[in-house]
Amino acid sequence: MNRDHTCGELRKCDAGKHVRLAGWVAKRRNLGSIVFIDLRDRYGITQLTFDESHSELVKDIRNEYVIEVEGTVGIKETANPKLETGEIEVLAESCKVLSTAKTTPMIIADETDALEDIRLKYRYLDIRRNPIKEKLLLRDKVTTIVRKVLHEDDFVEVETPILSKSTPEGARDYLVPSRLYKGKFYALPQSPQQYKQLLMIGGMDRYFQIARCFRDEDLRADRQPEFTQIDIEMSFADEEDIFCEVEKVMKAIFKETKGIDNLQFPRIPYVEAMDLYGSDKPDLRFGNPMCDVTELFKNSRFAVFKNSIAAGAIIKALVFKGASDKLSRKKFDELTEFVKIYKAKALAYLKYENDAFSGSLNNALPDEEKQALRDQLGLENGDVVLMIADKKSVAQTALGAVRKKLGEELGLINKSKYCFEWITEFPMYEYSEEENRWVSAHHPFTAPRDEDVDKLISDQANCYSRAYDLVLNGYELLSGSVRIHNSEMQAKVFDALGLTKEQIRNKFGFFIEAFDYGAPPHCGVGIGLERLIMILSGTDNIKDVVAFPKTATAYCLMSDAPNTVDQDQLDFLSLEIKKSS
């Protein structure tokens, strides 16, 4: 054994003990004939003190050397309140170098000097830093809680294949060429969706898995190509059962990691969320719902409004109370550019100050319309109202994005709050301009609402499903649905998606067949583990909570994956790389 104690555990009461520690040299302070060394391991930092008679021992010790030290625990003359072990030091009597280290390319401390790309290239050094280390430890704590809670409720952890079958109708798959079946490919699972449903048919009843998922789509600050899903499925259950189970898991996690036990889980139908917040994942840590003022301007003397409405547009308005002195002309110009990202043509605004209006709409709108607007929105002095007139989906999402942006910038968000909400009754389908057909909004195994069964084929635009998301602080934390469990219903959905019998058999054959042998009603969710850890640890960067993350172009700066392979490897797989055009 190189050590009998860790660098995080010694306290005042250990004074006088003879101990042996091992770890990394975090910092060396040489005061002449007395030398201090901060020794770091996973558990913390302990100061080693080498007095005059021992300072020769550490003459050649440099930062990040791995050393083993024996000594006696002593009390510091003045304590360091910043360290858990700040009251003690170890008066070193020996020092053995277990490993030397070159000068590191980044400073290894809570506050490093390096930017993210250097940290990713030397991720093993980054992991020595508390901010990253703590998130990995939190992740472990959360999965431990999840396993405990679910096992208590009779859920069974089952592992499903990583080498699986390409999923049509979804994200792009990562493919793995087969050696034994030339020209054929395995796909890495986008989620264990079909397997877990087959486990229900297999009578597994209550299943979960901490499951790796892979999606070959472009990345974002909250999206990695491979990620982990806490995947849950239960039989003989509906929304109430699964919501209850998920809420139980969330309550346990927040209780044990944050000491919070008053979580609320309100439910908002999708249509209402879009209407009020312009998002299917609204951040409810602040209010500021949008209002529909289309009716008010139907016969407006402002031609732009009137004509837009006549052409099918709606007008959404968003009020920020008391924000008039915080939003400058320059800010409105910036916001006008911002909404263009979301395809909105323009952003109009009015300020109401000293019982008078000003702003881009002030001259365009007659007094009576402005007063009507003031009355409908309940405007008071100091308020600002932002408006977008556009087709419904654009007006909603663009103004919703403004709500989110200004909520952040005006400091309306209470960062210590955790606001969950269930978004329910998602649309069954959405129209794909690319493919010129209706595609599943969730996935094709999602059950429709009972009252919308007759719209499955005849009225796809107004057909809603039993799919739901759980949102936390504006992040989509999980998605799930009640699944279809009878073949007739499933056939109708495939029909609505425009799939031929041939396509259905090729794409979903084994899966559909299973439903002919007795499928229980079932439903489930997949919880995005990284997003949960991000929120719990207060970061907005998913890379911070992944041990070895990829860059925005899905590249690993540390290992240089993906890489080229030897010709024999390609030959085994009968693969040939096309010369790029």
Partner RNA sequence: GGUGCGUUAGCGAAGUUGGUUAUCGUGCCUCCCUGUCACGGAGGAGAUCACGGGUUCGAGUCCCGUACGCACCGCCA
- Rounded Cα gap, residues 393 and 395, in angstroms: 6
Nearest to 531 by CA among 479, 469, 481, 476: 476
By CB under 7 A, name the one of 171, 260, 410, 558 that touches RNA.
Answer: 171
By CB under 7 A, name the one of 382, 555, 570, 573 that touches RNA.
Answer: 555
DSSP-based three-state secondary structure for 9: coil
Which 93-132 positions form the footprint of RNA (CB under 7 A)?
103, 105-107, 112-118, 120
CB of residue 218 to RNA, shortest distance in Å: 3
CB atoms within 10 A of CB 398: 25
In the complex with RNA, the residue whose CB is nearer, 125 or 268, is 125
| CB-based contact 529:228 (threshold 8 Å) | yes
Total residues in contact with RNA, by rule CB under 7 A: 70
In the complex with RNA, the residue whose CB is nearer, 256 or 430, is 430
Both tokens assigned to 232: 């849950």
CB of residue 391 to RNA, shortest distance in Å: 14
| CB-based contact 290:278 (threshold 8 Å) | yes
What is the amino acid identity at position 357?
Answer: F
Which 459-518 positions form the footprint of RNA (CB under 7 A)?
none
φ/ψ bin of 511: left (φ > 0), alpha (ψ from -120 to 50), beta (otherwise)? alpha
Binding mask 273-302 for RNA (x = CB under 7 A): ------------------------------
Residue 174 DSSP code: P
Nearest to 444 by CA among 488, 508, 494: 494
Which 381-440 positions form the footprint of RNA (CB under 7 A)?
397, 401, 434, 439-440
Distances from the Cα of 70 to the Cαs of 14, 48, 57, in angstroms? 14, 10, 12
By CB under 7 A, name the one of 8, 170, 289, 520 that touches RNA.
Answer: 170
Nearest to 332 by CA among 350, 318, 317, 314: 350
In the complex with RNA, the residue whose CB is nearer, 170 or 269, is 170
Both tokens assigned to 234: 């239960």
CB of residue 231 to RNA, shortest distance in Å: 10
DSSP-based three-state secondary structure for 156: strand
* Part of the chain binding RNA (CB under 7 A), chosen from 49-57, 244-252, 408-416, 503-511: 49-57
CA 199 and chain centroid, separation: 27
Angle between helices 501-514 and 193-201 (to 10 degrees): 50
Asked if 51 interacts with RNA (CB under 7 A), we say yes
Asked if 83 interacts with RNA (CB under 7 A), we say yes
By CB under 7 A, name the one of 9, 17, 19, 36 that touches RNA.
Answer: 36
Locus of tokens 């929304």: 239
Binding mask 525-544 for RNA (x = CB under 7 A): ----------------x-x-
By CB under 7 A, name the one of 175, 310, 552, 561 that touches RNA.
Answer: 552
Which 193-252 positions form the footprint of RNA (CB under 7 A)?
193, 215, 217-223
| CB-based contact 266:393 (threshold 8 Å) | no
Please report, as ranges, the residues that interact with RNA according to CB under 7 A.
27, 29-34, 36, 38, 47, 49, 51-52, 62-63, 76-80, 82-83, 86, 89, 103, 105-107, 112-118, 120, 167, 169-172, 190-191, 193, 215, 217-223, 341-342, 397, 401, 434, 439-444, 541, 543, 551-553, 555, 557
